[in-house]
Structure formats: C-alpha cells, structure tokens
C-alpha cells in the first residue's frame, strides 16, 4: 500500500479522521419536492416487504422500494436537465467514478437564511468566502450551509400561497462557479439545488440550468454541514449506477480531520 493510503487507514482507525454522514434518513416519511401541479409529481417513497422470516422467505427479510430518482439525499446528474442532455458521460452509469470524490468547500449562510428564507448566494458572497479561505480548488464540492436540514415538517419546504421559500444560488453565483472555477458541483441542505422561488426566476431553475449545462453535479437534502470545516474535508458522493439514471438517492460521506 502507498504511504498515503496507509496513513488514511491508520488515521481512520485511530480517530484522527472522522467519517461524517451528510445523509438524511430515507423512508416513507421523506419529503419530496412540490412542483407546480401542471407538472408530474415526484411519487414519494414506498416500501413493501417481500419476506420477513415468514412463509414468503423463512430465513430472510427484504423489501421492495419505489421512489423517484430525486428523493431524499440525492445526486443530480447533468442529464437531469435539458441543458445537459447531450453532454458526454452525463448519466449516473457513465460519469467517471473519480468525479464522485473531491474537497469540500462549505459556505456558511445559516444566519442569512434564518432571517431571509429566500436568501440567494451571489458571486460577491463567494469571493468574500475566498478572501478568508482561499480560492475554491479544482474538483471541489461547493456546499451551501443553511441549517435548513434542522427544519422538520412544513417548515422544511416552507411553502405558502406564493410557493416554497428556501434559500439557494443567484443565477450569477452558478455562472461564476462554472465559468471562473473548476468544481464538481454544488450541494445544499434544501430539497433541491435551486431556491424555492427559482421556478419564477428570469432563467427558471437557474442553478440546474447552468450547473448541468456545464456538466456539473448537484447534491440535495444534505445534513450535518455544521460539522464540517470551511475547507479541508473530503466529500464522497457516488450515486447508484442506474443505467441512464438522471440521479439517485445516495449516502454522502465526508472525511474530516479531528
């Protein structure tokens, strides 16, 4: 084994590196995105027992699961959006696996999001973060900490008569990240990588439109971003190898030095 991997194993075993779970529980209670009723809805999660140590299978327990690809903590592949539909290696089964691992950059806007649920990150916010933490490195996962994952029930989607109110990226921030930096993608604590009101923006769903059009990925419904340093973590986010998949639920892990 190389010294690097030997050190990794030893540091994991001795607790110098902690594995932080950035994944919310996936079950029938998991909330799904609420699109305008003119569009087909996400079906939510259902599970059915195939057998449970009974006459259907005396020695084993297993379930059937049904859900949309974009459910709970999940990965968005470029093919998810029309802007990414013709890119090479744009689906869950064709993205090179090296692109599932990269350094985490955590931009903390929890305070701003608490006072303004429609808060949008701008390039100016990103550059202020870089002034403190250094440039977003090549191959980074850019993670937006909003503490939205601490909300439960109706407060998570936070919808009223004008639709959902959840924070996200200004169109200019998504453009800045794809043009001026070389990232893997962005991750958020909210139900999708666009702000709640983004369906009505000048470019509808600008983050999906711009990220996926540039071959970048998304991670939605993350949690525990408050347990990550601004820089220095390693994020592992590998979706299921669904053939022509537009995304999938997944387990997102962060390696963090303690």
Per the DSSP assignment, residues forming a β-bridge with 188 are 144
Give yes or no for residue 80 binding ligand 23J (CB under 6 A): yes
Q: Decide whether 17 or 186 has the Cβ nearer to ligand 23J.
A: 186
- The CA-CA-CA angle for residues 201, 99, 187, to 5°, reads 35
Q: Which is closer to ligand 23J, CB of 185 or CB of 192?
A: 192
CB of 220 closer than 8 Å to CB of 31:
no
Distances (CA, A) of 70 to 30, 47, 84, 116: 11, 16, 16, 26
According to the binding rule CB under 6 A, does residue 33 interact with ligand 23J?
yes
In the complex, least distance from residue 84 CB atom to ligand 23J, rounded to whole angstroms: 12
Q: Is 192 in the site for ligand 23J (CB under 6 A)?
A: yes
β pairing state of 74-76 and 217-220: antiparallel
Number of residues near ligand 23J (by CB under 6 A)? 10
Determine if 148 is a binding residue for ligand 23J (CB under 6 A): no
5 CB contacts (<8 Å, ≥6 apart)?
Answer: none
Asked if residues 200 and 158 have their Cβ atoms less than 8 Å apart, the reply is no
Cβ-closest position to ligand 23J: 192
Note if 7 is an active site residue: no
Q: Which does 35 bind (CB under 5 to 8 A by kind): ligand 23J, Mn ion, none?
A: ligand 23J
Near ligand 23J by CB under 6 A: residue from 205, 210, 214, 215: 205
| Contacting Mn ion within 20-79 (CB under 5 A) | 70, 76
Decide: 160 and 190 in contact? Cβ < 8 Å. no
Asked whether the beta carbons of 249 and 240 are under 8 A apart, the reply is yes
Q: Report the C-alpha gap between 135 and 112 in whole angstroms.
A: 22
Whether the CB-CB separation of 213 and 81 falls below 8 Å is answered with yes
Among 220, 228, 235, 254, binds ligand 23J (CB under 6 A): 220
Q: Is 252 in the site for ligand 23J (CB under 6 A)?
A: no
Using CB under 5 A as the binding criterion, the count of chain residues that bind Mn ion stands at: 2
For Mn ion, the closer CB: 32 or 109: 32
**Smallest gap from residue 139 Cβ to Mn ion (A):** 21
CB of 84 to Mn ion, least distance (A): 12
User: 208: closest CA among 91, 78, 110?
Assistant: 78
Chain residues in the site for ligand 23J (CB under 6 A) = 33, 35, 70, 76, 80, 192, 194, 205, 208, 220
Chain residues in the site for Mn ion (CB under 5 A) = 70, 76
Q: Where in the sequence numbering do the catalytic residues fall? A: 80
């Amino acid at each position: 084994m190389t010294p690097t991997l030997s050190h990794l194993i030893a540091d994991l075993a001795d607790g110098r590196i902690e594995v932080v779970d950035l994944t919310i529980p996936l079950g029938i209670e998991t909330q799904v995105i609420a699109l305008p009723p003119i569009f087909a809805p996400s079906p939510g999660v259902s599970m059915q027992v195939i057998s449970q140590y009974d006459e259907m299978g005396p020695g084993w327990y297993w379930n059937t699961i049904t859900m949309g690809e974009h459910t709970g903590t999940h990965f968005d592949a470029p093919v998810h959006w029309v802007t990414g539909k013709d890119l090479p290696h744009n689906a869950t089964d064709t993205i090179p696996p090296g692109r599932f691992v990269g350094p985490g950059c955590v931009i903390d806007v929890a305070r701003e999001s608490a006072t303004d649920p429609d808060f949008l990150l701008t390039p100016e916010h990103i550059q202020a973060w870089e002034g403190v933490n250094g440039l977003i490195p090549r191959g980074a996962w850019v993670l937006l900490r909003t503490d939205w994952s601490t909300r439960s029930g109706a407060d998570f989607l936070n919808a009223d008569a004008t639709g959902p109110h959840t924070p996200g990226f200004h169109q200019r921030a998504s453009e800045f990240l794809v043009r001026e930096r070389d990232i893997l993608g962005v991750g958020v604590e909210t139900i999708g990588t666009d702000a709640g009101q983004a369906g009505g923006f000048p470019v509808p769903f600008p983050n999906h439109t711009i990220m996926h059009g540039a071959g970048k990925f998304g991670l939605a419904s993350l949690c525990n971003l408050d347990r990550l340093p601004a820089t220095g973590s390693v994020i592992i986010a590998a979706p299921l190898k669904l053939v022509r998949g537009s995304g999938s639920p997944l387990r997102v892990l962060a390696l963090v030095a303690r």
